[in-house]
Amino acid sequence: MIDSFDNPMLNDPFDATLPNNPYPGLRPFYSSEWTIFFGRETITDEIINSLINKHLIIVHGDSGSGKSSLVRAGVLVQLQQSHTANGQTWRTCAILPRNNPLDRLAEALAGLITKKPSFDRTFEIRKILDRGKFAPVLLSTLLREANDDRVCILIDQFEELFRFAREHNHQEAQVFIDILTGISTGKTPGLYAILTMRSEFLGSCSHFQNFAETLNNTQYLLPQIDYDALRRAIQEPAKLYGGEVSTELAEKLIADVRGNQDELPLIQHGLIQLWHQHTTGIDQPRHNLRLDIKDIELAQSLEALLDQHASFIQRDLLKRNNKLANLIEHVFRSLTDINADGKAIRRPLSYGHLKRDTGAEDVDLHEVLNAFRAEGVNFITFNGSDNIGNDVVIDISHEAFIRAWSQLTDPKEGWLWKEFHAGLTWRALQFQADRFIENPKDRLSAISFTERAVWISLLPSPFWCERYGNEQSKVIKLFSALNYRVFKIWGIVFMSLYLPYAICGTLAIGDPDNRLSAIPMLTITSVLFGLPAYFCTRRWIRGRRARLLVQKFFTISLRK
C-alpha cells in the first residue's frame, strides 16, 4: 500500500526552499519542511548521538508529542546535512508496518538502490529479510557502495506491528523484530534504524523474543518540549515568510493547551488557520502580516477552533452536494476506532477498502476526501491526485482531530459511538445466528425480524460487516428462517370467515327490522375475525418487505 508520508531522502539536503505555508497544521512535518521545523534542536542532537553509538534507537512518547516530525524533519535531515560535510553519505528511507511489514521494508530498501527498483531486486531483498537476525549483514553488503556509506531506516508508528502480529502473522512480525535486534546487537557497519512508537505499547515489546532487552538498551523517551522551544516553534517560521507572531499570541496559545497531550498539533492547526485568515484572498505582501492575540479571542480554545473548522468543512461540502451527508459520516466511521482501553484511535485503510466499506462511488468519495485534505485543512492525509489508486492509504492526519471534533466523539450522537453500537448490534446478530444453527427453533421473533432487517438495509455496504466478523452466511440463514407466509395463510383464513358475516351484517343494517341485532353481530365478527385478518395480513406484508430488504442488501436470493 502507498502511504501519505513523503520520502525522507532529499535530493539536496541543503535546499532551503520554503514550503507554501509556515505551519503544516495537524499532520506531521515532512522532511522537505525542515526549514520551518524549530524547537527540537538539542533533542535532535541527542538522538543522533545515540543512534550512531547504538545503531538502533526507539523514540517513544504520547500521541501528539511530535515523534514523527522530530525524526523526519529533524534527525533524518540533519544526518544528511551534517555528515555530508564530513564526507559520509547518508541515505534514508521510511515505512509504516501496516499489514505487510516485510514487503514494505523490502520495497523501501530497494528504492535506495534505484528510484524505480525492479521486481527481481525487491524480491532479492525480500528473501534476505527472511533471514531475520542474519539479514543486517547481508543488507549492509548489498546496499552500501563504499565504506563511508550509511543507511538509516525509519519505522514510523512501529506499534502497528503489534496489531499485525495479533491479527495476521505473529511469525512474520517476529522475523521483522529479529532484523531490528540484529542491527542493534551486531552493530552492523553502515546500517541504522529508528523506530517511533507510542509509549502505551511498551509492554507489547515483551511479547517478542529478545526485544524487551533491545528496548531497554535503545529506548529514548521523548520529553515534553520546553516553554522557550515551543515559543520558538510558534514564532520563528512566520519570520521566514516576512510575517510575525506576537509574543502575546504565542503565550496565549501555549497557555491554552499546556499539558494537553495534543498541544503541538492543536497549536500548529491554530496557527495555520490564523495564517490563512490573513493571506487568503488578500493581495498584500506577507511582510505586512502580523498574527496577534485579537485574532483568536473569538475562539473559546484551540480545541474549539479545530471543532469549528471541521464542522465548517462539513457544512461547506454539504452546501455543494447535500447528498454526501451519509457518506461523510461513514468515511469517518470507517477511519476511526475505539481500542481496548476505550480511546479513540485512527484506523487507516486503503482507498479500495474504504470504497468497499462505504459503498461509495469514486466521484463522491473523491469529493469528500479532497475536501478534508485540502491545503490548510489536512484532516485526512494521502498521496495522489483525483485519480487515487486502490492501494493508496487513507488516514486521519492526527488523533487530536478525532478527540476534538464533537461530530465524532459526542457521547450521544457522535459517529464514533454510533459505529461502536452498530458493531455490537451486528455481533449480537451473529450470536443469534449461531444459536439458531445449533437449535433451529431459536429464531428471531417476527418483530425483531422486521426491525433488524430495516437496520441491515441502512448499513453502508455488505462489506462493512467484515469489520466485525465475516459471518454473513449465518446471518442470512437466520433471516431465511422466518416463515412469514404463515401469516398470509392465517390472514386468508380469518378473512374468509369474516367476509360472509360482514356482507350479511352490512345487508342487515340496511333493513330497519334487523338493524339492532345486526350491529352487535357485525361488531363481534369484526373483533373475532376482521382484526386478526388485518394484523396477519399486515405482518405478512411487513415480513415480505423485510426479507426483500435483506435480500437486496446482500444481493442474494433468500430461501422462499
Domain CATH for 92: 3.40.50.300
Mean pLDDT over the full length of the chain: 85
First to last CA, the chain: 43
Q: CB neighbours of 169 closer than 8 A, spacing ≥ 6?
A: none
Of 184, 183, 266, 220, the residue nearest 44 (C-alpha) = 220
Q: How far apart are CA 498 and CA 261, in angstroms?
A: 72
Query: What pLDDT sits at residue 556?
Result: 47
Q: Is residue 3 part of a domain?
A: no
Regarding whether 443 and 395 lie in a shared domain, the answer is no
Q: How far apart are CA 129 and CA 104, in angstroms?
A: 11
Regarding whether 48 and 162 lie in a shared domain, the answer is yes
Which is it for the CA torsion 79, 82, 88, 91, positive or negative?
Answer: positive
Residue 381: which CATH number? 1.10.10
Q: Is residue 21 part of a domain?
A: no
Q: Where are the beta strands (DSSP E) in 319-373?
A: 336-338, 344-346, 349-350
| Local structure of residue 383 (DSSP, 8 states) | S
Residue 267: which CATH number? 1.10.8
- What DSSP letter does each residue of 7-26 carry, written as one string? PS--S-TT-----SSS--TT
Tens digits of residue pLDDT in 364-377: 999 999 999 988 88
Q: Is the pTM of this model over 0.85?
A: no
Q: How far apart are CA 209 and CA 231, in angstroms?
A: 43
Regarding whether 354 and 212 lie in a shared domain, the answer is no
What are 434's three cell numbers? 449461531
Q: Residue 75: is its pLDDT beyond 50?
A: yes
Query: What pLDDT sits at residue 15?
Result: 83
Q: Is residue 397 part of a domain?
A: yes
| Local structure of residue 335 (DSSP, 8 states) | S
Regarding whether 347 and 312 lie in a shared domain, the answer is yes
Q: CB neighbours of 220 closer than 8 A, spacing ≥ 6?
A: 46, 47, 50, 57, 58, 59, 60
Tens digits of residue pLDDT in 42-63: 999 999 999 999 999 999 999 8
Q: By three-state DSSP, how is residue 345 classified?
A: strand
Q: Are 4 and 382 in contact (CB under 8 A)?
A: yes
- Tell me what the mean pLDDT of segment 537-558 comes to: 66
Among 17-26, 441-450, 481-490, the minimum mean pLDDT is found in 481-490
What are 415's three cell numbers? 459517529
Regarding whether 100 and 178 lie in a shared domain, the answer is yes
Which is it for the CA torsion 400, 406, 407, 408, positive or negative?
Answer: positive
Regarding whether 137 and 80 lie in a shared domain, the answer is yes
Q: Is residue 24 part of a domain?
A: no
Query: What pLDDT sits at residue 103?
Result: 95
What are 86's three cell numbers? 564530513
Query: Quick one: what percent of the chain has pLDDT higher than 90?
Result: 50
* Residue that is last in its domain, among 166, 196, 221: 221
Q: What phi and psi values does residue 9 have, to the nearest 5 degrees?
A: -80, 110
Query: Quick one: what percent of the chain has pLDDT higher than 70?
Result: 82
Q: How far apart are CA 271 and CA 513, in angstroms?
A: 91
Q: How many helices (H) and strands (E) does the chain have?
A: 24, 12
- Tell me what the mean pLDDT of segment 284-297 comes to: 71
Q: CB neighbours of 408 closer than 8 A, spacing ≥ 6?
A: 332, 336, 344, 402, 414, 415, 416
Q: Is residue 46 part of a domain?
A: yes
Q: How many domains does the chain have?
A: 4
Q: Is residue 423 part of a domain?
A: no
Which is it for the CA torsion 108, 112, 113, 116, positive or negative?
Answer: positive
Regarding whether 292 and 401 lie in a shared domain, the answer is no
User: In what helix (H) or strand (E) does residue 346 lie, and over which residues does it extend?
Assistant: strand 344-346
Regarding whether 206 and 244 lie in a shared domain, the answer is no
* Residue that is last in its domain, among 251, 279, 298: 298
Query: What pLDDT sits at residue 454?
Result: 83
Q: Is residue 22 part of a domain?
A: no
Task: Show the 3-state SS of 105-132.
Answer: HHHHHHHHHCCCCCHHHHHHHHHHHCCH
Q: How far apart are CA 315 and CA 335, in angstroms?
A: 20
Q: How far apart are CA 167 and CA 170, in angstroms?
A: 8
| Local structure of residue 321 (DSSP, 8 states) | -
Q: How far apart are CA 554 and CA 457, in angstroms?
A: 9
**pLDDT-based confidence at 450, cuts 50/70/90?**
confident
Q: How far apart are CA 298 and CA 91, in angstroms?
A: 47
Q: Residue 386: is its pLDDT beyond 60?
A: no
Regarding whether 168 and 45 lie in a shared domain, the answer is yes
Q: Beta-carbon neighbour count of residue 512 at 10 Å?
A: 7
Q: How far apart are CA 157 and CA 3, in angstroms?
A: 12
Q: Is residue 284 part of a domain?
A: yes
Helix axes 302-320, 263-279, angle to 10 degrees: 60
**Torsion on CA atoms 444, 450, 454, 459, rounded to nearest 10:** 10
What are 287's three cell numbers? 511582510
Regarding whether 67 and 205 lie in a shared domain, the answer is yes
Residue 514, burial from CB neighbour count under 10 angstroms (0-12, 13-18, 19+): middle
Q: By three-state DSSP, how is residue 377 classified?
A: coil
Query: What pLDDT sits at residue 559?
Result: 42
Regarding whether 211 and 71 lie in a shared domain, the answer is yes
* Residue that is last in its domain, among 270, 298, 326: 298
Q: Are 205 and 211 in contact (CB under 8 A)?
A: yes
Q: Are 560 and 548 in contact (CB under 8 A)?
A: no
Among 40-49, 151-160, 327-336, 376-385, the minimum mean pLDDT is found in 376-385
Edge-to-edge strands of the sheet including 349-350?
349-350, 393-396, 380-381
Among 174-183, 192-201, 371-380, the minimum mean pLDDT is found in 371-380
Q: What phi and psi values does residue 31 have, to the nearest 5 degrees?
A: -60, -35
Task: Show the 3-state SS of 188-217.
Answer: CCCEEEEEEEEHHHHHHHHHCCCHHHHHHH
Helix axes 211-218, 170-186, angle to 10 degrees: 40
Higher pLDDT, 469 or 104: 104
Show the domain range for 255.
227-298
Length of the chain: 560
Regarding whether 202 and 175 lie in a shared domain, the answer is yes
